[in-house]
């Protein structure tokens, strides 16, 4: 049986689409999950681990006013990170992760507050998650949620186009 990451890589391949990542709290785990799938080099362009705020701003192009007004643990930052990765790496889709893995709160937000950003041909969105567990469990759950979000977006785009994912030409 295919893992969710394998199914996602195959759906991206079948759709002729590519993906990039911009990670903060997951520290590269999302990229690792995707690149553990054989053949992922066809769809995975690369990623940026932007653990420090200035990398989000200087490399990914997150506007400083977003950081100042909403913080880095926010839907606005997640959307800007995903947009930045998509633009920087020239992909059809980009996923981003930002949040609080613990053990301490950040920006007044409790441990487990997570945002997953998804940028694609239809626009950019952010999903807010309230996760529990230790640092590693929160990071793994965030990766699971990001993979699921993109899989759902591809499935939805294919459904709107009236095509199964394997026959679609997204991107």
Who has greater pLDDT, 155 or 17? Answer: 17
Q: How far is CA 113 from the centre of its chain?
A: 15
In this prediction, residue 163 carries a pLDDT of: 56
CA distance 93 to 171: 8
> Residue 47: in which H helix or E strand, if any?
strand 44-49
The residues, any chain, with a CB within 8 Å of residue 160's CB and separated by 6 or more, are: none
25 and 56 Cβ atoms separated by less than 8 Å: no
111 and 149 Cβ atoms separated by less than 8 Å: no
Quick one: pLDDT band at residue 159, thresholds 50, 70, 90?
confident
Query: What residue spans define the domains of the chain?
Result: 4-167
CA distance 80 to 148: 20
Give CA angle at 130 (37, 31), nearest 5°.
20
Reply yes or no on domain 4-167 having CATH 3.90.950.20. Answer: yes
- pLDDT at position 154 over 80: yes
| pLDDT tens profile 126-140 | 999 999 999 999 999
| pLDDT tens profile 28-84 | 999 999 999 999 999 999 999 999 999 999 999 999 999 999 999 999 999 999 999
Model's pTM, two decimal places?
Answer: 0.93
Burial 94-119 (b: 16+ CB within 10 A, else e): bbbbbbbbbeeebeebebbbbbbbbb
Quick one: pLDDT band at residue 94, thresholds 50, 70, 90?
very high
């Amino acid at each position: 049986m295919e893992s969710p990451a394998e199914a996602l890589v195959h759906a991206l391949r079948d759709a002729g689409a590519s993906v990039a990542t911009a990670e903060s709290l997951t520290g590269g785990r999302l990229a690792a999950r995707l690149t553990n799938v054989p053949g992922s080099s066809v769809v995975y362009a690369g990623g940026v681990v932007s653990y420090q705020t200035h990398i989000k701003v200087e490399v990914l192009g997150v506007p400083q006013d977003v950081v100042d007004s909403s913080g880095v643990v926010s839907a606005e930052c997640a959307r800007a990170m995903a947009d930045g990765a998509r633009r920087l790496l020239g992909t059809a889709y980009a996923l981003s992760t930002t949040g609080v893995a613990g053990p301490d709160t950040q920006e007044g937000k409790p441990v487990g507050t997570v945002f997953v950003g998804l940028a694609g041909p239809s626009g950019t969105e952010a999903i807010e998650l309230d996760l529990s567990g230790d640092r590693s469990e929160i990071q793994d759950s965030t990766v699971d949620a990001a993979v699921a979000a993109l899989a759902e977006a591809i499935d939805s785009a294919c459904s709107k186009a009236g095509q199964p994912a394997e026959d679609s030409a997204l991107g």
